[in-house]
Copies of this chain bind each other. A is one copy, B any other.
Amino acid sequence: MGTETERKFRVTGDGWRAHADKGRHIRQAYLAIDDERQVRVRIVDGASATLTIKTGGAALSRGEFEYDIPAGDAEALIACCIGQPIEKTRYRVPAGGGLTWEIDRFEDRRDGLVIAEIELDGETADFDRPDWLGEEITGDPAFYNASLARG
């Protein structure tokens, strides 16, 4: 059984767009951000909303709990969140070998920032590197969504 690894890169240029789906708009913010626990409110396409709790930081006991909530509640909660909400559009781009790139194009204060993520079976798993792939930022706290919301 492999260990799931996420690798994260900056994106340079628009080459990925030709193969992307139409994307989903994401508006999210945080009610809690610390090393041990994060509480995130997310609204997708202005309609469906979730409350997600991630626990355990980088520890083995990492957990994730997600609940659907009414979009109206989510809007009211986002107004009371830490820092500023993040606005982004998330696209999916086939990565070959059954893998998928998730590409987040940020708006508002982070306009222009584009980040690509891929989920792999373990840290050494191979994957194709398209020419729009920039610098690797896996594990760089500056690019955590929670950091972007706080900043």
Contact = CB atoms under 8 A, between A and B. Distances in A.
Contact of A31 (B39, B73, B81, B82): B39
Contact of A80 (B37, B67, B69, B81): B37
A32 B36 contact: no
Contact of A65 (B37, B56, B63, B73): B73
Q: What is the total number of copies of this protein in its complex?
A: 2
A55 B80 contact: yes
A63 B37 CA distance: 22
Nearest to A56: B80
A114 B51 CA distance: 34
Nearest to A36: B80
A133 interface: no
Nearest to A63: B76
A21 to B, nearest CB: 30
B51 A77 contact: no
A137 interface: no
A20 interface: no
Interface string A39-77: 100000000000101011000010101010100010011
B80 A51 contact: no
Contact of A53 (B31, B37, B63): B31
Given A37-B82, A56-B80, 6 more contacts: A31-B53, A32-B32, A36-B80, A39-B39, A51-B67, A67-B69
6 contacts: A32-B37, A32-B39, A36-B82, A37-B82, A51-B67, A65-B73
